[in-house]
Structure 1
Amino acid sequence: MLAKTEPAKGREKVWHASLLAFTNKWGTVMAILLLVIFFTAMMPQFIESSNILTILRSISIVTVIAIGLTVSLTVNGFDLSVGSAATFSNSLVVSMYVWYSMSTFASIAVALSVTLVVAAVNAFLIVKVKIPDMLATLSTMFIFEGVAMTYTGGGSISEGMPRLDGTPTEGKLTEVFKLLGQAPYIIIIMLVVVVLAHIFLNYTKHGRYMYIVGGNQEAARLSGIPVDRYRAIAYFLSTFLVALGGVILASRIGSAQINAGAGYLMPAVAAAFIGFSFGGLGRPNAIGTFVGAVLVGVLENGLVMMSVPYYSLNIVKGAVLALALASTYYRKN
């Protein structure tokens, strides 16, 4: 009797292992599909093209910022300053328009370039001073949050609003700039960033080196890879993408607001870490980050449509992040 049950038990274990492996690889995608089915059953209008467009538009800025965070994660870093960098970029680009009446190209170029100071400070503290990534970027998060608020005088910047000294302003946001924050352009920018980041990380020498550095710095160093250089490059790329997210945010809301980027830190972290489990990769990746952002966006949109109080949304998003992390790290154990 025992001999007959052993093969059955063996097949059952193999089936359970296969199911667990499949869930670990595609659990995020399955969760999105189940949520879409559930919300559609509850509210048929959820699946309408206009609402799908709303979801994609709502996750565009989060995704761009999360891709920046993902790049820092490839070298086993963690950039907590992404929210402050986005706020800084947001303030700079609007001020270039309103205070200095600069052109679209010049305003965006100045905002992206100056915000890279955040990356320079991060790279110096992490690579040269040897402060752990999380602690260094926690410091710069507060520093550049303060810099942005000091630059704007602790207030917002919008068309027609006088400068800090009371000087009238005549600059206006251009129509071309305003289009960046509208569909379909904001969605196109998001998809282009995801695709380019995916190609860079997976199909270029530099992207593969970043993964090697993140996997084992000592082994990478012994292999001849300039570890410190690639760690610095990761933070510069991360900040550049976050600055781009801040520019798009300015285009979308049409002004610079106090701590405008702060609210994007946790959604970006959630999207990036949920993406770890996508396809069973178990590492930061651009496509997974996008899928993670879609999961958070679908969940938030559906809950809002069901009139769930806004103050309860973070509970659900936090629970989803915990489940995603459990899926990733349970498999490793």
Structure 2
Amino acid sequence: MTTAQSTPVKTATPSTTATPAARVQSAVIKYGFLFVTVALFLYFALSEGSFRESATLLDTLRYVSVAAILGLGVTLTLAVGGMDMSVGAVAGLGVSVAAQTMVVYNQIGTVAIVAVLAAGAVVGLLNALLIVVLKIPDMLATLGTLFIVQGLKLVLVDGQSITPGMTLDDGTTAPGKFTEGFLKIDRGTVLGVPISVLVFGGLTIAAWVFLARTRWGRVLYAIGANPEASRLAGIRVGAYRALAYVLSGVLASVGGLILASRIGQGDVSAGTSQLLEAVAVALVGTSVLGKGRPNVWGTALGAVLIGIITTGLTIKGLPYYTQDVVEGAVLILALVFSFTLSKRRTA
């Protein structure tokens, strides 16, 4: 008796070869933002000789260092699915605390640095309390903190900017001043590179290592992707979200230190414009290399792009208000890369 041998049934497998149009779209998503950055840089470099000077390029990085550092904090909170709207106010608070510490209380720069970093950590803890314990939505909680901090920094300085030699409420003259060492945070250089730029670079590398190369960073991304699944996996979601906001507060206070060193006085309006730029560079960063998620190098590149645009338009003599229009257009373009095109690719 013979038995029929069964032959394997061949099943059709879908072709994985991408069409030319799909490959082009994938390249646009992955490298489009890098292309825009390089193209703008080359345009300004070729059309304006002063833009190519090393001093101009370093000044550009120095200019964006504050927004970039604040953007790193926003990136951490975006990683856990939140958003810190208080970073600009915290930076401004840092300016007021630094001025109060050195000018009014006549303390050294080291004491001012510790006080500013502590103030940033406290605000971060307040945000964590509102969000993690009281369950207030991230954006609403940090928006409330923004107003509290803005009011607090005015209370600290009685609504006026603090300058060396000013007359205090009791009729006496402020005994202190911004120390030379403190002023070097932004005005000093190491091998020709501004210290603030080195701080920006160092914090960028540290944040990248933390988010991309440590378990804590991977957990933050996991929480942002699916907090409920993370909780069921045994992750202490609340603790990690609190960590993200505390770190964001500390980073914002570092930005405040640079601002205080830059302006050399306790300007009550300091930090007001930094929020929008910080959020912009963090959101722009999501489009870099088509990642579609918050990432440190993307945030850094977003800050560099904002700096290129601002410096280039300034050299060309365009009115300052045109910069906002261009920056807004770039942000929208980046969000198209991040969300619209990437969703079409995965559809």
Q: TM-score, normalised by structure 1?
A: 0.94
As a proportion of its length, which structure holds more helix? 1
What is the rounded CA distance, in whole Å, between the counterparts of 2:212 and 2:167 in structure 1? Answer: 48
Q: 1:274 aligns with which of 266, 270, 284?
A: 284
Are 2:196 and 1:196 equivalent residues in the alignment?
Answer: no
Q: 1:318 aligns with which of 290, 304, 328?
A: 328
Are 2:3 and 1:33 equivalent residues in the alignment?
Answer: no
Contact 1:275–1:289 (8 Å) recurs in 2: yes
Deviation per CA, 1:39-75, whole angstroms, max 9, x where unpaired? 1232122112121111111111111111111111110
Matching residue of 1:5:
none
SS of 1:193 mapped into structure 2: helix
What is the rounded CA distance, in whole Å, between the counterparts of 2:288 and 2:332 in structure 1? Answer: 15
Letter in 1 for 2:307: G
Deviation per CA, 1:95-150, whole angstroms, max 9, x where unpaired? 11001111221111011112322112211111111111011111111111011111
After TM superposition, the structure 1 stretch with the greater mean CA deviation from structure 2, 165-174 or 147-156, is 165-174
Letter in 1 for 2:263: I
Structure showing greater radius of gyration is 2
Identity over the aligned pairs, expressed in percent? 40
Matching residue of 1:145:
150
Matching residue of 1:287:
297
Q: 1:215 aligns with which of 214, 225, 239?
A: 225
Matching residue of 2:180:
175
What is the rounded CA distance, in whole Å, between the counterparts of 1:13 and 1:165 in structure 2? Answer: 75
Contact 2:184–2:195 (8 Å) recurs in 1: yes
SS of 1:256 mapped into structure 2: coil
Matching residue of 1:126:
131
Letter in 1 for 2:139: M
Matching residue of 2:4:
none
What is the rounded CA distance, in whole Å, between the counterparts of 2:104 and 2:321 in structure 1? Answer: 36
What is the rounded CA distance, in whole Å, between the counterparts of 1:256 and 1:285 in structure 2? Answer: 33
Matching residue of 1:20:
25
What is the rounded CA distance, in whole Å, between the counterparts of 1:153 and 1:127 in structure 2? Answer: 32
Matching residue of 1:243:
253
Matching residue of 2:343:
332
SS of 1:237 mapped into structure 2: helix
Stretches of structure 2 that go unaligned for 5 or more consecutive residues are 1-14
What is the rounded CA distance, in whole Å, between the counterparts of 1:151 and 1:41 in structure 2? Answer: 48
Are 2:56 and 1:59 equivalent residues in the alignment?
Answer: no
Contact 1:36–1:47 (8 Å) recurs in 2: no
Letter in 1 for 2:76: V
Stretches of structure 1 that go unaligned for 5 or more consecutive residues are 1-9
Letter in 2 for 1:160: G
Matching residue of 2:90:
85
Are 2:114 and 1:109 equivalent residues in the alignment?
Answer: yes
SS of 2:286 mapped into structure 1: helix
Contact 1:200–1:207 (8 Å) recurs in 2: yes
Contact 2:64–2:303 (8 Å) recurs in 1: yes
SS of 2:235 mapped into structure 1: coil
Are 2:159 and 1:154 equivalent residues in the alignment?
Answer: yes
Matching residue of 1:7:
none
Q: 2:216 aligns with which of 201, 206, 225?
A: 206
After TM superposition, the structure 1 stretch with the greater mean CA deviation from structure 2, 156-165 or 142-151, is 156-165
Contact 2:291–2:338 (8 Å) recurs in 1: no
Cα–Cα, structure 1 residues 11 and 45, in superposed 2: closer, same or farther, change >3 Å? Answer: farther
Contact 1:111–1:247 (8 Å) recurs in 2: yes
What is the rounded CA distance, in whole Å, between the counterparts of 1:245 and 1:11 in structure 2? Answer: 47
Cα offset, 1:188, TM superposition: 0.5
